[in-house]
């Protein structure tokens, strides 16, 4: 996801997300000169920030 999509998903401003990404506060990577975010990593980061336990993984039967 790009900055605009990720900021909307997190409910924060683009500027705040840029700052968080450049400070290494959120999981992000640069593709060229643009920040990119993986939804799965943002979900895990939000769980960690909120103290929520990770969702259990499905097991094969």
Q: What is the pTM of this model?
A: 0.77
Across 23-42, average pLDDT: 96
For the chain, give the percent of residues with pLDDT over 90: 79
Q: Is the pLDDT of residue 30 over 90?
A: yes
Q: CA 15, 52, 40: angle at the middle one, nearest 5? A: 55
Q: How confident is the model at residue 51 (pLDDT cuts 50, 70, 90)?
A: confident
Backbone angles phi, psi at 60, to 5 degrees: -75, 145
Q: Is the pLDDT of residue 52 over 70?
A: no
Domain extents in the chain: 3-50
Across 48-55, average pLDDT: 75
């Amino acid at each position: 996801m790009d900055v605009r999509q990720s900021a909307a998903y997190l409910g924060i401003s683009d500027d705040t997300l840029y700052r968080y990404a450049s400070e290494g506060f959120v999981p992000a990577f640069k593709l060229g000169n643009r920040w990119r975010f993986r939804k799965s990593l943002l979900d895990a980061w939000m769980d960690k920030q909120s103290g929520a336990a990770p969702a259990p993984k499905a097991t094969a039967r």
